[in-house]
Structure 1
Amino acid sequence: MASQSRKGGVFLPERRAAKAEPNILTKLTQSPIVSRGKRSACDAVSVTKKLIRSTGKAAWIAGTTFLILVVPLIIEMDREQQLNDLELQQASLLGAPPALP
C-alpha cells in the first residue's frame, strides 16, 4: 500500500512515467502555426473588449446628453402645442374666426 496514493478514502494508482514520444495532439498544439493563431485570437479578444467598453461609454454619454438636453425641449414643444390647441378651441367656441397658423 505504500506505492499507492490515498486521497479522500480512494486509493489512486501512481502516475505512469511520461512517454518518450509525444502524440499527435501535443505536436499540433506546440506547432508555431497554432501558437500564432492563439496569439491572434487573444489579440482579437482584447480589441473586442476595448471596443465594447468604449462603445458602452459613448452610449452612456449620448443617453445622458439626450436626457438633459432633448427631453426638456420635447416636453416644452408639447406644452406649446397644447396651449395653441386650447386657444384655438376657445376662439372657435367664442365665435371668433380661427386664425391661420
Structure 2
Amino acid sequence: MSSRGKKNSASNGGSSILARVSSTISESPVVYHGKKAASDAATVAHKLLKSTGRAAWIAGTTFLILVVPLIIEMDREQQMAELEMQQASLLGSPAAAPAMAGPQK
C-alpha cells in the first residue's frame, strides 16, 4: 500500500507542477504577443478575402453587362457577313468587298 500512496502523491505533485508551468507559459508575454499576431493575421486575411470577393463580383457583373452583349453582336455580324458571302457565291456574282474597307478610289 505504501507504494501506491507514493505514486498518488507523486502524480498529484506532478500535475500541480504541470498546471503551474502551463499557467506560467500561458501568461508569458511571448505567448500573448504570438496570440495577438495570429489574431491580427486572421483578421487581415478575413478582410482581404472579403474585399477580393467584392472585387470579383464587380468584375464579373461588369463583364456580363458590358462585354457579353458586345461579343454576341460581333458574332451576329460575322454570321451575317458569312451568309452574304455564301448567297453571293450561290448566285454567281463576284464577292463583295468587306464592309470594313473604306471607299475605293
Aligned residue runs from structure 1 range 34-49, under 5 A: 34-49=31-46
Distance 1:20 1:96, change over 3 A: closer
Q: Return the match for 1:58 from 51, 55, 59.
A: 55
Identity of aligned residues (%): 61
C-alpha distance in structure 2 between counterparts of 1:22 and 1:83, whole Å:
82
Residues 1:72 and 2:72 aligned together: no
C-alpha distance in structure 1 between counterparts of 2:58 and 2:77, whole Å:
29
Pick the structure with more strand per residue.
Answer: 1
Match of 2:92 in 1: 95
Deviation at 1:22, TM superposition (A): 4.4
| Residue type of the alignment partner of 2:85 | L
C-alpha distance in structure 1 between counterparts of 2:30 and 2:18, whole Å:
21
The ranges of structure 1 where at least 4 consecutive aligned residues each deviate by more than 4 angstroms after the TM superposition are 19-22
| Residue type of the alignment partner of 2:73 | E
Could you tell me which runs of 5 or more consecutive residues in structure 2 were left unpaired when the two chains were aligned: 1-15, 99-105
Deviation at 1:24, TM superposition (A): 2.3
> Please, which moves more after superposition, 44-53 or 26-35?
26-35
Distance 1:21 1:63, change over 3 A: closer
Length-normalised TM-score, structure 2: 0.72
Write the deviation string for residues 9-34 of structure 1: whole angstroms up to 9, x where unpaired.
Answer: xxxxxxxxxx5884322222211001
CA RMSD of aligned residues (A): 2.0
C-alpha distance in structure 2 between counterparts of 1:29 and 1:86, whole Å:
78
For these two proteins, the number of residue pairs brought into alignment is 84
> Please, which moves more after superposition, 24-33 or 78-87?
24-33
Pick the structure with more helix per residue.
Answer: 2
